[in-house]
């Protein structure tokens, strides 16, 4: 429990065209609970809580608040916005980094990418590219 009396619980999210934004209840049985369908997301906002944590607000029919690590929050916001544009409305943007108050999160992420790039040694070293990950089918 934190100082404001709010309870925090770790959870795993599944984001994809088949499951929308879902909470994985039991990974062994693949039991999930739908939190939001992409068509119901109105906007995404991010607020820095401290150096490592960001509060993500998903504005759907109700407000969903998620406290996440900075990189995870950017991944969630970008995935959600991308699926929204792909599946709902390609002309509408529901997430804008500059407007969301997540400049600190983006700057921190860019600094880590640059730092990882500087650490690489020689032309054969591989660095992870932001956003390059596999999605479940």
Q: What is the pLDDT of residues 14-51, one digit of tens each?
A: 999 999 999 999 999 989 999 999 999 999 999 999 88
pLDDT of 137 > 60? The answer is no
* In the predicted structure, residue 127 carries a pLDDT above the cut 80: no
Q: How confident is the model at residue 120 (pLDDT cuts 50, 70, 90)?
A: very low
Q: Would you place residue 9 in the very low, low, confident or very high pLDDT band (cuts 50, 70, 90)?
A: confident
CB 16 within 8 A of CB 136: yes
Note the pTM of the prediction, 2 decimals.
0.65
Residue spans of the domains in the chain: they are: 40-119
Alpha-carbon span 2 to 69, nearest angstrom: 16
| Contact indicator for 64, 36 with CB cutoff of 8 Å | yes
């Amino acid at each position: 429990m934190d100082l404001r009396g709010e309870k925090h619980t770790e959870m795993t999210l599944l984001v994809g065209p088949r499951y929308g934004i879902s909470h994985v209840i039991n990974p062994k049985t693949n039991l999930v609970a739908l939190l939001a369908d992409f068509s119901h997301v109105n906007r995404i906002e991010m607020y820095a809580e401290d150096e490592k944590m960001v509060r993500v607000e998903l504005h759907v029919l109700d407000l969903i608040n998620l406290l996440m690590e900075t990189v995870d929050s950017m991944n969630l916001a970008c995935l959600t916005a991308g699926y929204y544009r792909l599946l709902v409305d390609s002309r509408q943007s529901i997430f804008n980094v500059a407007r969301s108050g997540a400049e600190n999160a983006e700057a921190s992420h860019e600094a880590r990418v640059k730092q990882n790039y500087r650490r690489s040694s020689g032309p054969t070293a591989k660095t992870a590219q932001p956003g390059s990950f596999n999605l479940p089918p």
